[in-house]
Amino acid sequence: MKVKEVKGSICVVPSIEASAVYAGLTKKKLDVGLIYSKKPTVSAAVFTKNAIKAAPVIYDMALMKKLPDIRAVVVNSGNANACNSNGSEAVDAIVTKTAEKLGILKEQVFVASTGIIGEDLPYDKIVSALDNLTFTLSHNASGFAEAIMTTDTFKKEYALDCSFYGKQFHIGGVAKGAGMIHPNMATMLAFITTDINITHDMLDRALREAVNKSFNRISVDGDTSTNDTVFIMSTNEAPNEKIENENEIYRFFTDQLTQLCNNLAKMIVKDGEGATKITEVVVVGAFSKKDAELIARSIANSLLVKTAIFGEDPNWGRIVDAIGYSQAYFSINRMKVFIGDTLVFAYGRRADFDKTKVEAYMKNNEIKILVDLGIGVCTYNMWFSDLSYDYVKINAEYHT
């Protein structure tokens, strides 16, 4: 079994093509992207947990219940197509025109949007751009990765070339996200392609496991968007015997899919609006997995912890405070907290540690916090960004 990181993003899959154009939805960048599969596909998706959902999410959720052969994905930035007066009208126009231009069925088109909430989507600009989008399809995903960006400062792409006992398959992904990032579908869009030979049910199961171990474990600011979507499609072109149950190759594929999602998720945290550092919090020794998760999320979402990380201050008191209000089960008399490899809190009181050493560690771009509850065997981890002056500035000027 071999795994190698390669270039190509979503176009690492032979039958997948992509394109992007400037349609005038943003000021000066590519803002509409298209993914197209020349082969039939099976697909799966997970969506935002926000009760208020954008028109594309409402459409896609209904679409995916039909187990469609998705052949095209159209994504725009600059406008979320949410809480406006023409959301469903815009989706229908885009889907209809895309199907017409590609010679496919409307039920084979998936849509997504990201950007400002509440403004009508000038979908005529997207419809007009479809001529160029379909004409310029190629085996290059770089433009698509740019087209889905909003306040992102860099493209988020990753691809793997995998071999399972001589049976080769590929997985490629692209994502966007920098603000409104919160676990339980982090605020983001992600599109993943593969050619693994697999049934819909097993692809859906693999995606949900991968998302729960990656995108659902990141935090920037605690906001959950109206548009969150993670979508995967497989062309089923790989030479492996079709995956129909949780066998050895399914486990191998799911592990690699999780690796891909983890890498994209970490890129999102690193690109958090105004972020200067990324921190991993690991909780071990919990009585239950729920307790471990509650504590990890409490620390990752604490504004005081985030600002301490930004200020390079080893303020273990803020970490302990976040544990205290997490509503998890723990005993302060059995708990230990580490910043990096330094024990800073143990059994109910401050540990005797070299503050100068920990302050020096806090200057790193990547920080690790370990909480050992000492009462069980369950663990949970998350990644989160710090909270800087620039975050406030960016979000005072840009609204998504």
Question: Is 136 labelled a binding residue?
Answer: no
Distance between CA atoms of residues 135 and 304, nearest Å: 50
Q: Who contacts 354 (Cβ-Cβ below 8 Å, separation ≥6)?
A: 342
Question: Is 400 labelled a binding residue?
Answer: yes
- Tell me the two tokens of residue 302: 């604490």
Question: Is 193 labelled a binding residue?
Answer: no
Cβ-contact 108, 68 below 8 angstroms: yes
Question: Is 235 labelled a binding residue?
Answer: no
* Angle at alpha carbon of residue 141, lines to 58 and 11, rounded to 5°: 90
Q: Is 224 a catalytic residue?
A: no
Give residue for tokens 């209904």: 62
Q: Which of 187, 193, 226, 235 is catalytic?
A: 187
Q: Which amino acid is at 251?
A: R
Question: Is 273 labelled a binding residue?
Answer: yes
Question: Is 395 labelled a binding residue?
Answer: yes
Annotated binding site for substrate: 150, 176, 187, 273, 395, 400
Residue numbers annotated as active site:
187
Annotated binding site: 150, 176, 187, 273, 395, 400
